[in-house]
Structure 1
Amino acid sequence: MATTTDQTRRDLLETGYSLMELDAVGADRLATVLRRGKDFFARSFEDKSRHSSDDPNFGFLPMGMEYSITPERPDLNERFALWSDRVDRIPGSSEIAPFTDALLAWRDVLIPFVTRLLDGLSRHFGADGAPAFEAASYLQLNNYVEAPSDREFLQDRHEDGHLLTVIHTTGPGLEIFPSGDAPVPVRTSPGQVLVMPASVLSGLTGGAVGALDHQVRNLALPERMALMYFVNPELSEPLHPWVGDRSVDLRDEARTNPAAFGLPEVPVL
């Protein structure tokens, strides 16, 4: 990463989010994922659905199940998810290996950065160390459809319910709420990602790093994608706050947060 983890840590503590510049390797791998993902979503619905699992955590998921606030207002995107490195959980993954290989290569860019960032935050709060996250975290690529004019938002205002989210968007529409109820539009350049803290990190830090609400406005774009790395703590060990009562275990919150979006619990991989 071209932006240092120390700078990102300071940004999260001071402003509640961070825009990060990628190095040349990271920017190239990001571009490859987006190119392969665009090819995948251009396939027929029947072809994409062959890579859907009975468990909606894995592979292709059509629009309609995932939502931000209420099931009556589904997010206006289809998506593809890869948890950890478990391509074996995606039906027919060998047939889309260029896509899944690109996702794994992008994951390899993010893991060292997230490790350093979480370790630095834990030290800042005097904790022994940050939780492991690789096996419980996942990549998700959203492909937004052109929305009807009566939908103001492609995704309603929400926070992600994880430790943090590393996101890149290919077009405008994302709005964040770093303070109060005034939305701030934010767009990532081709070599840039946005780091957004979520409620599990807020719980660890006693609210010192707040969960960042965000939404996606409907700008009637013909095409738009968003690539997220959703960082969850692994659930094999107790998850104690870094601030406050360190006997509390935050794992139940981390495990069940996806239910608020119509998704299953965080899997144990």
Structure 2
Amino acid sequence: MIPEQSHAVVRSTELTRFRLAPNPGPMSLQGTRSYLISAPGAAGTVVVDPGPLDEPHLQDLARSGAVELILITHRHADHTAAAPRFAELTGAPVRAADPAHCHGGSPLSDGEVIHAAGVEIRVLATPGHTSDSVCFHLPDDGPRGSVLTGDTILGAGTTVLDYPDGTLGHYFASLDRLEALGSATVLPAHGPMLPALDSIVRAYRDHRQERLTQVRAALADLGGDAGVVDVADLVYAAVDPAVRPAAELSVAAQLQFLRSGPA
């Protein structure tokens, strides 16, 4: 059992370790996982999502191996706020899909294959949670490989679509891409690692379809031009008030999908 409340660097798979950032909360769960990727015996390390700006967290990451590259899964501050400082601390370039979050490195491109720290890392564009979301596929990490999913797939609960930047149409397409990777181990940025990516993706897709059915039913009751707040009152009536804003974002994305089609 991996100690989720521990902030030590711990082993997650053959090629990965992680350190939990000290930022627990309703949206970040136990905290943001900063992953370290390296092959056994490799001199260097790749860090994915250095996390919030917390100096002890960054110092511990820096002491865990000679950092040669920093990768970002998406733009949210709990993943990126520390990136400029961590680049300064380690001298390593930061690469992200969004050029605004690159520091000394070029933007990531879909389908790109990175070789660093003795590991092959495949970049997969997976918009939906945000427009710039990417996942990192490690095909040689154990018998089935692993995928660092950022916030596209979580270790518990379901992903918020940061509408209008993230859309449900894009998210469904991203789930299809991830399912094609088969039963790889899921390494999320929040919550525990999960087995069998393909089965997790199918559960996520089923959940989204169930929510769409509920939204359609709410529109039938309220009228087709009902607004986000009224629909959320019906569909997410039991949601914790702390995550109500996220629920409303999801409703907005669902309404856009139903009214305009995938976009």
- On whether the aligned pair clears a TM of 0.5, the verdict is no
Q: TM-score range by the shorter chain?
A: under 0.3
TM-score w.r.t. the length of structure 1 is 0.27
Higher RCO, Cα 8 Å, sep 6+? 1
